[in-house]
Amino acid sequence: NAGVTQTPKFQVLKTGQSMTLQCAQDMNHEYMSWYRQDPGMGLRLIHYSVGAGITDQGEVPNGYNVSRSTTEDFPLRLLSAAPSQTSVYFCASSLTPLGSPLHFGNGTRLTVT
């Protein structure tokens, strides 16, 4: 019962570096999403996907790219890291785009110096 798996758990980047946060789910969920969690701001949606080949922007998409080539995987790319992207990142999936609860991964703590 893996559920939603995120890697890495921790990452430190220098300003300007790029990296990819990995997310995989084994529950055959249609919907996948990326959130960032910052103190005092709650969870904010970065990008989401309602199925393979379909992605769209959430509330705070700038500086991030996503793709969904398979149902299982939904990687998040940071193009050129900035200190403002220091955060905890959660990947979450649900069976359907509406009406079913999100299941979260364990998060990636990213620090950009």
Interface ranges with other proteins (CB under 8 A): 4, 33, 35, 40-45, 48, 50, 56, 58-59, 90, 97-99, 101-107
Taking the complex as a whole, the smallest distance from the CB of residue 15 to other proteins amounts, in Å, to: 27
DSSP labels, the chain: ---EEEE-SEEEE-TT--EEEEEEESS--SEEEEEEEETTTEEEEEEEEEETTEEEE-SS-TTEEE--SSSSB--EEESS--GGG-EEEEEEEESSSSSS--EE---EEEEE-
Least gap, CB of 88 to other proteins (angstroms): 9
Work out how close the CB of 57 gets to other proteins at its nearest, in angstroms, rounded to a whole number: 9
In the bound state with other proteins, the residue whose beta carbon lies nearer, of 75 and 97, is 97
> How near is the Cβ of 17 to other proteins at its closest, in Å?
25
Which residue number, 27 or 102, has a Cβ lying nearer to other proteins?
102
What's the CA gap between 49 and 70, in Å, rounded?
11
Instruction: Identify which of residues 14 and 99 has a Cβ nearer to other proteins in the complex.
Output: 99
Residue with tokens 């700038």: 62
